[in-house]
Amino acid sequence: MDHPKKFIKEAFSFDSKTLYLEGPLEPEAIDALDYHEKLVSFRPAQAQKKALMEIAALPEGRINVIRDENQIVGYVTFVYPDPLERWSEGKMENLIELGAIEIAPEYRAKGLGKHLLRLSVKDSAMENYIIITTEYYWHWDLKGSGLDVWEYRKVMEKMMNAGGLIWFATDDPEISSHPANCLMARIGANIDQASMEQFDQLRFVNRFMY
């Protein structure tokens, strides 16, 4: 499967300055930018910057960012699911995962996450994919946000909805382990019935339970 990528860039007015939402970026473009020191939700800042460059180098990998002058202050990743997760078991070439979205603390609560996701699906090539995201409450910044688990879940759902992702049922054990966890997905306009049936088989491995 081909993975064409169309670079898109949009300006965003933030306080008294202009930020830029753009991508997908090539590894060299990410390397040339500074990286905000508080983007540490998944690993230390420089290690995460390296991880973004590695994803950007993959055929299907996409990194879209929020840029403040020469600094990355937020990002979203799209890549094939981890080989150890059930979502990779079907070896679906047209299923990719929104693996992470992170925004530096001082840039949050301004709608930037929603705008970044809207930009991410403007490339017509995204209509060729089923895009999934798996939301686990233990990844959420409950302490920093001051929200409880259900308030944070609502915030995450609204943000994902902005990118066209909606809730889907599943019997995945990790997701089912807590009621706040969820699977969300966006079904591209070019997805055929056979792919949908394959996706349904991945969502419900233990069909006898339902």
Q: What is the DSSP letter of 103?
A: E
Neighbours of 150 (CB within 10 A): 11
Q: Are strands 130-135 and 95-103 parallel, antiparallel or unpaired?
A: parallel
According to the model, what pLDDT value does residue 48 have?
A: 97
Spatial neighbors of 40 by CB under 8 A, at least 6 apart, are 48
According to the model, what pLDDT value does residue 210 have?
A: 44
The answer, yes or no, to whether residue 171 has pLDDT greater than 50, is: yes
How confident is the model over 182-199, as pLDDT tens digits? 999 999 999 999 999 999
**Among residues of the chain, what percentage have pLDDT more than 70?**
98
According to the model, what pLDDT value does residue 170 have?
A: 96
Instruction: Give the three-class secondary structure for 186.
Output: strand
Amino acid identity for residue 190 in this structure = N
According to the model, what pLDDT value does residue 88 have?
A: 95
> 82-107 as b/e, with b when 16 or more CB fall inside 10 Å?
eeeebbeeeebebbbbbbbbbbbeeb
According to the model, what pLDDT value does residue 5 have?
A: 97
Contact (CB, 8 A) for 75 and 63: yes
The answer, yes or no, to whether residue 208 has pLDDT greater than 90, is: no
Higher pLDDT, 77 or 16: 77
How confident is the model over 75-133, as pLDDT tens digits? 999 999 999 899 999 999 999 999 999 999 999 888 999 999 999 999 999 999 999 99
pLDDT band at 139 (very low <50, low <70, confident <90, very high): confident
The answer, yes or no, to whether residue 209 has pLDDT greater than 50, is: no
Could you tell me the two tokens for 107?
């840039």
pLDDT band at 145 (very low <50, low <70, confident <90, very high): confident
List helix spans (H) across 66-192. 112-120, 142-145, 149-162, 173-176
- Rounded distance, CA 6 to CA 37, Å? 28
Can you give the pTM of this predicted structure?
0.92
How confident is the model over 31-47, as pLDDT tens digits? 999 999 999 988 999 99
